[in-house]
Amino acid sequence: MNGRLAELLKEKHLSIDYSASVRHVDNYAALYNCSDSPKIRAKAADRVAEIALDIKVRKIKPPPKYPLLSKLIYKFYPARNGAVAPGFKVSDSCNGCGICRRVCPRGNIETDGGKPQFGADCEICLGCLNLCPKGAIEYKLSKRMTKYKNPEIKLSELYVR
Ligand code: SF4
Ligand code: SF4
């Protein structure tokens, strides 16, 4: 993904001097079980500390070349332009709390005290689905999957509205 980001920035005549990746718990509950792993979280924290040190000493490490295969896959990724309506299902267990609306990074959800209404500007981050306290939002195979919320992050830290 760093390669993709480098390409996007190049279009704006900007470049990346340093790039690094951090392995973390998968949160794509539409297809996978997103079991929490304290081990992965601890490793990620160590990696972030290493990266912080690199940045402090202004280490230069440009992103790797964007692989051709990733380029091809990304071309067909539906949310590449942030404009899809994935067709979420919302069950009657929804209590209208509005958390999904507050965490959506694209402002794509309205609730008005009731069930969420989704617009067409979704990037399929699955924040709404993973963070719904009632497990009321479903997409693809998510009904059978474990959802994920990072226990080290407060819900209020994820609110954008
Ligand atoms: S977060 Fe869940 S319970 Fe709350 S409004 Fe959204 S769908 Fe309903
Ligand atoms: S998946 Fe992400 S972008 Fe899409 S509606 Fe839910 S929170 Fe918003």
Which residue's CA lies nearest to atom 2 of ligand 1? Answer: 132
Domains of the chain: 2-75 (no CATH), 89-158 (3.30.70.20)
Return the structure tokens found at 6: 């480098």
User: What's the rounded Cα separation, in Å, for the pair 91 and 68?
Assistant: 40
How many whole angstroms from 139 Cα to the centroid of ligand 2? 11
Nearest-atom index, ligand 2, CA of 103: 7
Q: What is the pLDDT of residue 80?
A: 64
Choose among 57, 63, 61, 25: nearest CA to 43: 25
Res 131: pLDDT: 97
d(C-alpha 79, C-alpha 105), whole Å: 13
Length of the chain: 161
Q: What does the pLDDT read at residue 153?
A: 94
Q: Give the side-chain half-sphere CA count within 13 A for 12.
A: 7
Please identify, by atom number, the ligand 1 atom nearest to the C-alpha of residue 109. Answer: 6
CA of 74 to the centre of ligand 1 (A): 30
How far apart are the C-alpha atoms of 84 and 45, rounded to whole Å? 33
β-partners of residue 89 are 138
Residue 88 burial (CB count, 10 A): 21
pLDDT for res 66: 83
pLDDT tens per residue, the chain (161 residues)? 677 888 889 999 999 999 999 999 999 999 999 989 999 999 999 999 999 999 999 999 999 888 888 888 877 776 666 677 889 999 999 999 999 999 999 999 999 999 999 999 998 999 999 999 999 999 999 999 999 999 999 999 999 99
- Alpha helices by DSSP H, 57-126: 68-75, 99-103
Q: Is 109 in the pocket of ligand 1 (CB under 6 A)?
A: no
Quick one: pLDDT at residue 1?
66
